[in-house]
A and B are shown apart, each in its own frame.
Chain A
Amino acid sequence: MRKFGMIAILFLLLFMTACSSGASSSDEYPSKNLEIVAPASPGGGWDLTARSVENVLSGQSLVEENINVVNKPGGGGEVGWKYLESKDSHSLAINSSLVLTNNLLGQSEMTYEGFTPIATLATEWQSLAVPPDSEYESSKELLEAIKEDPASIKIGVGPGLGNDDHLSLVQAASEFGIDPSQLNFLVYEGGGDVVTALLGGHVDAVTTSLSEVKDQYLADKLNILAVSSDKPVEGIEDVPTWTDQGIDLVFPHWRGIMGPPDMTEEEIAYWDEKLSEMVETEEWQEVLENNDWEGFYKNSEETKAFMDEQHNLYKTLIEDSGLIK
């Protein structure tokens, strides 16, 4: 009888400590300085996203704790995300589709499922651009030409294969019935080099993010044949989307934020609240405008579904399309 009593007391104690520790952690989060990891060197898109989030959250006093931005460049995001994996829930990291494709392309062992999705913040759109004097007036004309003789059309891309710039055109070509393995891609060091190559006449077309070519387009230095958005982009409404031209393709180049594995529901809820407030601020709208980004906010739950969907999409694109066509 006494034994049973002891066991009961033990359980009670265990239960109480469990309750108190659970309660205290949810009360206290965040209990120390926060950290946002930009898995790239300063100046890139990821770094810009991280610093903008930090600016708005701190500037608008949405978060009282200090927020530090940490740069962990290397391996197409791999180094920064590896770093995040080892941290507690006070660290978050900026991500993009690379968190999916690195694994699919056999460049990384990490999967997106190893992290806690927090939010999708913003997106850029992809564009297909040609020199102003190009013989191809529309994307259809260009794709027809590629279909005729894939090797004759040189397409610039950078900084590596497998990024959204590359994948968006691969998908477009697939949709049009072109064997993507026949596409004649020239790989340049970065987005700037790609545009330079185009302006210098070294390539016949480039696929890159819209922000890289928008100014040149407005200055009439090149022609944009298609954007990957779902509706015409503000400022360049005359540029048609892929869907406008009969090709079923909407391809966002999104950026989001994620946390280390195993964050509690309370911690996730905290960020849902803060970030949803943040994207409503004027400051954030300003950031979007200045960077030619589009608001693409999804909360943690939506982001999780979105990531799953994107993962399937990329998986199909990378593994299956070659087998079908």
Chain B
Amino acid sequence: MRNLLRVSLQVKILGLVIFLLLLVLSLVTFMVAYMESNEDVEKAENMALQTAKTVSYMPVVQETFIQNRDPQDINYVSEQIREEVGASTIKVVSRNGETMGISGAGSPVAPTDYYRAVVFGSNYILHTGEGNDEILKGISPILVDYGNYKKLEGAVITEFQMNDIHNEITADIKKIIAASSAVFVLGIAGSFFLARSIRKDTLGLEPYEISTLYQERDAVLQSVKEGIVAIDQKGIITMINVSAQELLDLPDHAEGQTVYEVIASTQFLEMVVSKETIVNKELQLKDKNLIVNTRPMRMKDNVIGTVISFRDKTEIKKMIDALSEVRQYTEDLRAQAHEFTSKLYVILGMIQLGKLQEAIKMIQEETQAQQQVTEMFFRNIRDEKVQAIILGKLAKASEKKINFKIEEGSSLEPLPDHIRLTPLIIILGNLINNAFDAVMDKEEKIVSFFVTDLGRDIVFEIADNGNGVEKGTEQQIFQKGFSLKGNNRGYGLAHVTEEVEVLQGNIEMDSYEHEGTIFTVILPKDKDKRFGRGR
């Protein structure tokens, strides 16, 4: 069945048209032929009766009876009439059966045929004979007016060969069939061209090919990460892919609704209706940072719709942040190397000056500091990712003359696999940097770091002795765009919060004005077991 239906468009259209045309034409032909033949017979009957009546009233017939005029005259007149109406015979008979006049081929007339005419004065139609010999007779009485009285003197019988009538009907039907055949051929030609024209419009593709193609394109569209939305000139969404639905946080049935109904952002709507090509414009939508491109669709200078595509910039930004953090570490390490070099020069200078005691003392101090840090560090904090981050920060702290302490009792086994480097960099890097920034204008700059993985959670604690957070802004600082450090910043804590949430952990802050701030990040070791806390 499927294969049967899967024929080319041309075959489909042709098949349907041929079927319909055949049905309609045969019906119409049959109906017309049927009505026509009925009408023809009726017409012939009327003609026969009218002719008979007319002849019966003709003066020449009346006078033949009244004045015994030469019956031959009747023949002339009736012959003329017979020719005109196409009757086969016109016969005038007297009451006792005598033929008064005849024209055309005469067949014997039975007295029963005209009995009712000559007895009751009736006008009527008779069909006699069968098949090819069927004869249609119109019979009319001859009522002769003798002045005082009238008398039935005879009858006029007009005969038509039914064969002739049937032949005429057949000829008519042939004409109708010829006409319908012409229509049939025209219809087929028309449908052929229609199919061709449709094929042309569809670039020679069969409908099923079009649908396959459509599905393919749709799948492509749905699979790209970029959000794509198409709207028409009334703002109705005609197409939307999965990414766009997720990015805009739209319900599943957004197609068919207007953008005004489903999108609240006026900025976004402005772009949609601007009817100008917009390239890489940044847009803040809810908690996401989107890069939007729009392209109006034009047809003969009229804008018939717009295609909008957008990417989530948040992710890109995170990657950039992480990258810059890494770069920072290399910078810091270089700075540390530089510091070391200068220290080496100092030691060299001391040795050259013969101040060996001082040199030895300095070397001892340096190594002790290093050792204390590194030993505890490598002994207790086993995770390499955290090690790398802390090392970088230690370098930075020493450069900035900040006392960055690893709290006693810190311990960390290697982190589970689902906690990857990038989120760690974002979380710890940002928090520690913030702490560094907070203590910058203090005389004694202390930042402490504590980590423990006892129990089911991993707990990071970053404390500073800065000025603390102003009262009333505790909640704001986690929001995007809020910063105590000037404009176009303030993504740090927001990103941190996001990453913590992705890892199904949480972040807390305790702040005491003029005393300092403590950030606590708690991440579950086994993230799938933390029901009810995920997104």
Contact A162–B120 (Cβ < 8 Å): yes
Which stretch from A65-73, A183-191, A244-252, A278-286 is at the chain B interface?
Answer: A183-191
> Which of A106, A156, A197 touches B122 (beta carbons < 8 Å)?
A106
Contact A105–B122 (Cβ < 8 Å): yes
Which stretch from B147-155, B245-253, B291-299, B432-440 is at the chain A interface?
Answer: B147-155
Contact B115–A106 (Cβ < 8 Å): no
Q: Kindly identify, within residues 342 to 363 of chain B, every residue whose CB is under 8 Å from any CB belonging to chain A.
A: none
Contacts of B151 in A (CB 8 A): 184-187
Contact of A318 with B by CB under 8 A: yes
Contact of B267 with A by CB under 8 A: no
Bound-state CA distance A107–B96 (Å) is 24
- Chain A residue at minimal CB-CB distance from B151: A186
Bound-state CA distance A229–B122 (Å) is 27
> Which of A151, A181, A183, A193 touches B111 (beta carbons < 8 Å)?
A181
- Chain A residue at minimal CB-CB distance from B124: A106
Contact of B119 with A by CB under 8 A: yes
Contact A181–B95 (Cβ < 8 Å): yes
Contact A186–B149 (Cβ < 8 Å): yes
> Which of A107, A166, A181, A193 touches B118 (beta carbons < 8 Å)?
A181
B230 to chain A minimum Cβ distance, whole angstroms, is 44
Which range holds the interface residue count of chain A?
A: 20 to 34
Bound-state CA distance A291–B302 (Å) is 98
B19 to chain A minimum Cβ distance, whole angstroms, is 39
**Majority-rule SS of B interface residues:** mixed
Contact A161–B121 (Cβ < 8 Å): yes
Contacts of A106 in B (CB 8 A): 116, 122-124
Contact of B21 with A by CB under 8 A: no
Contact of A182 with B by CB under 8 A: yes
- A197/B148 contact (C-beta < 8 A), A170-B119, A182-B95 known: yes
Contact of A137 with B by CB under 8 A: no
Bound-state CA distance A236–B124 (Å) is 41
Contact of B473 with A by CB under 8 A: no
Which range holds the interface residue count of chain B?
A: 20 to 34
Contact B115–A323 (Cβ < 8 Å): yes
Q: Kindly identify, within residues 116 to 132 of chain B, every residue whose CB is under 8 Å from any CB belonging to chain A.
A: 116, 118-124
- Chain A residue at minimal CB-CB distance from B112: A323
- A202/B148 contact (C-beta < 8 A), A181-B111, A319-B116 known: yes
Interface string of A309-325 (1 = CB under 8 A from B): 00000000011001100
Contact A181–B119 (Cβ < 8 Å): yes
Contact of A177 with B by CB under 8 A: no
Contact of B143 with A by CB under 8 A: yes
Contact of A261 with B by CB under 8 A: no
Q: Kindly identify, within residues 213 to 246 of chain A, every residue whose CB is under 8 Å from any CB belonging to chain B.
A: none
Contacts of A318 in B (CB 8 A): 116, 120, 122
Contact of A180 with B by CB under 8 A: yes
Most buried by A among B111, B118, B120: B120
Bound-state CA distance A151–B98 (Å) is 14
- A197/B116 contact (C-beta < 8 A), A162-B122, A182-B95, A187-B143 known: no
> Which of A166, A180, A181, A188 touches B148 (beta carbons < 8 Å)?
A188
> Which of A156, A160, A322 touches B112 (beta carbons < 8 Å)?
A322
- Chain A residue at minimal CB-CB distance from B115: A322
Contacts of B119 in A (CB 8 A): 161, 170, 180-181, 183, 322
Q: Kindly identify, within residues 65 to 89 of chain A, every residue whose CB is under 8 Å from any CB belonging to chain B.
A: none
A107 to chain B minimum Cβ distance, whole angstroms, is 8
Contact B96–A182 (Cβ < 8 Å): yes
Bound-state CA distance A253–B35 (Å) is 43
Contacts of A186 in B (CB 8 A): 146, 149-151
Q: Kindly identify, within residues 97 to 128 of chain A, every residue whose CB is under 8 Å from any CB belonging to chain B.
A: 105-107
Contacts of B95 in A (CB 8 A): 181-182
- Chain B residue at minimal CB-CB distance from A170: B119
Contact A105–B111 (Cβ < 8 Å): no
Contacts of A197 in B (CB 8 A): 148-149
Bound-state CA distance A52–B410 (Å) is 137
Contacts of A319 in B (CB 8 A): 116
Interface string of B95-114 (1 = CB under 8 A from A): 11000000000000001100
Interface string of B437-471 (1 = CB under 8 A from A): 00000000000000000000000000000000000
What is A's interface to B at a CB cutoff of 8 Å? 105-107, 151, 156, 160-162, 166, 170, 180-188, 193, 197, 202, 318-319, 322-323
Please list 16 pairs of residues, one from A and one from B, whose beta carbons are closer than 8 Å in the complex, sorted by A's number.
A105-B121, A105-B122, A151-B96, A161-B119, A162-B121, A166-B120, A170-B119, A184-B151, A185-B151, A186-B149, A187-B151, A193-B148, A197-B148, A318-B120, A319-B116, A322-B119
**10 closest Cβ pairs, A-B complex:** A322-B115, A186-B149, A161-B121, A187-B150, A106-B124, A105-B122, A162-B120, A106-B122, A180-B119, A181-B118
Given contacts A170-B120, A186-B151, 11 further A-B contacts (CB under 8 A): A105-B120, A105-B121, A156-B149, A161-B119, A161-B121, A184-B151, A187-B151, A188-B149, A197-B148, A202-B148, A322-B112
